Structure 1
Amino acid sequence: MNEYTVRVDGMECQGCERVIRSRLTDLPGVTDVVPDADTGEVRVYGDPTRDRIRETIVDAGYDPST
């Protein structure tokens, strides 16, 4: 199982955390999602590709930073 940490610009509140968590949890191979609006980061656990995680964040209306 992999762990990815992605900075997400625009994730600033609990509502944003819920959106990110919901979208990423739906990805095949994801076992857990831990968004943190205070740090602007989301940790994703499982076996999705980093590119798929980034695409999903963009589709949710947020900007994943490198």
Structure 2
Amino acid sequence: MSESEYRVTGMVCGHCAAFVTEEIERIPGVTGVTVDVEGGRVTVASDGDLDVATVRAAVEEAGYDLASD
């Protein structure tokens, strides 16, 4: 099992978190998503390593941006 944390910009409420969660959960292998709206962080648990481009595409599909650290 793997866990990765990403910084997401543009989230301001629970609805934002729901949209991001829904899109990331569609990625094959994802087993859990935790969103911290105030901190702008998303933690993703998965069966293995995830491709950051796949996570970025899911976040963008939800209407937000994956920040590059």
Q: Work out whether the TM-score is over 0.5.
A: yes
Q: Give structure 1 stretches of 5+ with no counterpart.
A: none
Q: After the TM superposition, list the runs of 4 or more consecutive aligned residues in structure 1 that deviate by more than 2 angstroms.
A: none
1:17-55 CA-partner distances (Å, limit 9, x unpaired): 001111111111000000110101100110332221111
User: Which residue, out of 41, 50, 53, partners 2:52?
Assistant: 50
SS at match of 1:42: strand
C-alpha root-mean-square deviation of aligned residues, in Å? Answer: 1.0
Q: Give structure 2 stretches of 5+ with no counterpart.
A: none
| Percentage of identical aligned residues | 33
TM value normalised by structure 1: 0.91
The number of residue pairs the alignment matches comes to 66
Equivalent residues of 1:4, 1:50 under 8 A apart = no
Equivalent residues of 1:17, 1:37 under 8 A apart = yes
